[in-house]
Amino acid sequence: MISLFTGAMGLDLGFERVGFELRLTLDINKFVCETIRANRPDIPIICNDIRRVSTDDILRKAGLGVGGPVVITGGPPCQAYSTAGKRRSVNDTRPSRGGDLVFEFLRVIREAKPQFFVFENVTGLLSAAIRHISFYERMRKKEHEIPPDARLGTAFEKILEEFISTGYRVKWSVLNAADYGVPQARKRLFIVGSRDGVDIPFPPPPTHGRPDSLDVIMGRKKPWLTLKDAIWDLRNRRDLEYLPFPSWGKYLKYVPPGGSWVDIPRELQREAMGGAFYSQGGRRGFYRRLSWDKPSPTLVTSPTMKATCLCHPDQDRPLSVEEYARIQCFPDDWKFVGTTQEKYKMIGEAVPPPLAFAVAKCIMKAVKEDPGNPYSDPHLKFNF
C-alpha cells in the first residue's frame, strides 16, 4: 500500500494489522514526518506538498510500477469542508487546508492505477458547496436565489463525479467510529474504489452499538465503549501532557459531567460566552465537560478553545495528549513528535486504528476473493 496525507498513521495502523505492507508515506507537515520516522524508521517518507510531487516519484520511491500498488489510501486536510470552519471548499488552495487536494489524490489514482483506493474525510464534505456563502447570506435568500454553485452538496456531487470518472467501481458511506470499538462518537466519510470492478464488501458491518439498542440487548453486538473504558487509569497521573485553559477556564467549575455553557449560572453566561452569547445554534461545544459513561465526542484539533472545549470529567483541565491518543486507540508506546499543540492536532485529525481496521478488512476480503488477483486465495475464509 501507499499512504498519502499520512498524518499520525492511524489509517495505516489498521491496514498493517490486516496484512498490508506500507511501502511509502507522504505528508507536508514536518512534525508528522518526524512522527513517522520515530515509529516506522524503515518506511520511506516524502515530506513535501503533494502538488509538487509527481506520481512517478511516488511510485519510484515505493519501489512499484504503474498498477503495482494494491491500495492507495489518503485523507486530505479537511478544514476546507469542516462545518466548524469557514468552508472555503474546493476553492481553498492553502497548503495546510487545501480543499483542492482531493483532486491531487485523484490525480495519483488515475496515474498510479492501484487495484483499490480508500479516501477518508469529514462528513462536512457531503453538504459543502462549490462556492461558499455565509450562513447569514444563505438565510436571507430564498432557495431559487442561491446560485447553483453555492447550493449545499454541490462540492460533494462534483467530487463524487470525479471519483466515478476514474473508471473505478465506487462506493461511499459515513461510518461512526463508536460502531467499530472506538470510545468516541466520530463520524467520517469513506469513499472506496475497485479498479477491475471487483465488489468491495463495503461498508463493514458494525461490531458495537448503543447500549439500549436491540442488537446489544440480544447480544449480537457489543455496547459502545465509553470514556471510562479508555482513560480511567490515567485520571490520577501527574505527568500528563496538556495545555492549560486560558482565563475563561474559571467558568468550567460550574459545569457538571456531560454539561456545557448552559449549566453556567445565568448571571455569568453572557460574561463567559462573550459575543457568542448572541449567536444562533446550540453552541454545545462551548464549555463542554465530558462524561465518564458515554463515548467521547469527536476529538478536535485543540481541546483548549472555548468553542471546542473538551474538559476532563472530574478535573478542570482539558484532555491530555495521552488521553487523546487513548481515545483514538493508538498504542500506548506510539510516539508523537512536536509541540503539545501539534500533538493535539496530529491525533485529532487521525483515523482511529480500529475504524481503519474495519475498512481494511473490506479491502483485503476483496483482494483475496478476486480470482484474477495475484494475491487471491480461494481457500481463505473471513469471519467478520
Which CATH number is 330's domain given?
Answer: 3.90.120
Same domain assignment for residues 277 and 150: no
Same domain assignment for residues 205 and 271: no
Same domain assignment for residues 57 and 194: yes
Q: Tell me, what's the pLDDT at 275?
A: 87
Rounded Cα gap, residues 193 and 147, in angstroms: 32
Rounded Cα gap, residues 169 and 199, in angstroms: 8
Same domain assignment for residues 186 and 89: yes
- In this prediction, the residues of the chain whose per-residue pLDDT falls under 50 are 83-85, 87, 94-97, 378-384
Of the candidates 84, 71, 78, the one whose C-alpha atom is nearest the C-alpha of residue 100 is: 78
Q: Is residue 382 part of a domain?
A: no
Q: Tell me, what's the pLDDT at 375?
A: 64
Range of the domain at 320: 227-348
Same domain assignment for residues 204 and 66: yes
The 8-class DSSP code of residue 249 comes to G
Query: How many domains in the chain?
Result: 2
Same domain assignment for residues 141 and 255: no
Q: Is residue 383 part of a domain?
A: no
Rounded Cα gap, residues 165 and 250, in angstroms: 53
User: Which of 33, 47, 78, 362 is flagged as catalytic?
Assistant: 78
Of the candidates 120, 80, 121, the one whose C-alpha atom is nearest the C-alpha of residue 98 is: 80
- Can you state the percent helix, strand and coil of the chain, rounding each to 5? 40, 10, 50
Q: Is residue 15 part of a domain?
A: yes
Q: Is residue 35 part of a domain?
A: yes
Query: pLDDT tens for residues 21-58?
Result: 999 999 999 999 999 999 999 999 999 999 999 999 99
Q: Is residue 380 part of a domain?
A: no
Same domain assignment for residues 321 and 363: no
Rounded Cα gap, residues 357 and 240, in angstroms: 28
Same domain assignment for residues 36 and 55: yes
Same domain assignment for residues 191 and 62: yes
Q: Is residue 30 part of a domain?
A: yes
Cα-to-chain-centroid distance, residue 65: 29
71-74 and 2-4 beta bridge pairing: parallel
Same domain assignment for residues 45 and 100: yes
Helix boundaries (H) for 209-313: 214-217, 227-231, 266-273
Q: Active-site residue 78, yes or no?
A: yes
pTM: 0.90
42: CATH? 3.40.50.150
Q: Is residue 218 part of a domain?
A: no
Q: Is residue 145 part of a domain?
A: yes
Same domain assignment for residues 289 and 251: yes
Same domain assignment for residues 359 and 335: no
Rounded Cα gap, residues 196 and 366, in angstroms: 11
Q: Tell me, what's the pLDDT at 282?
A: 72
CB 22 within 8 A of CB 3: yes
H-helix or E-strand spanning residue 133: none
Q: Tell me, what's the pLDDT at 358?
A: 98
How would you class 371 by CB atoms within 10 Å of its CB: exposed for 0-12, middle for 13-18, buried for 19 or more?
exposed
Q: Which three cell numbers stand for residue 103?
A: 483532486
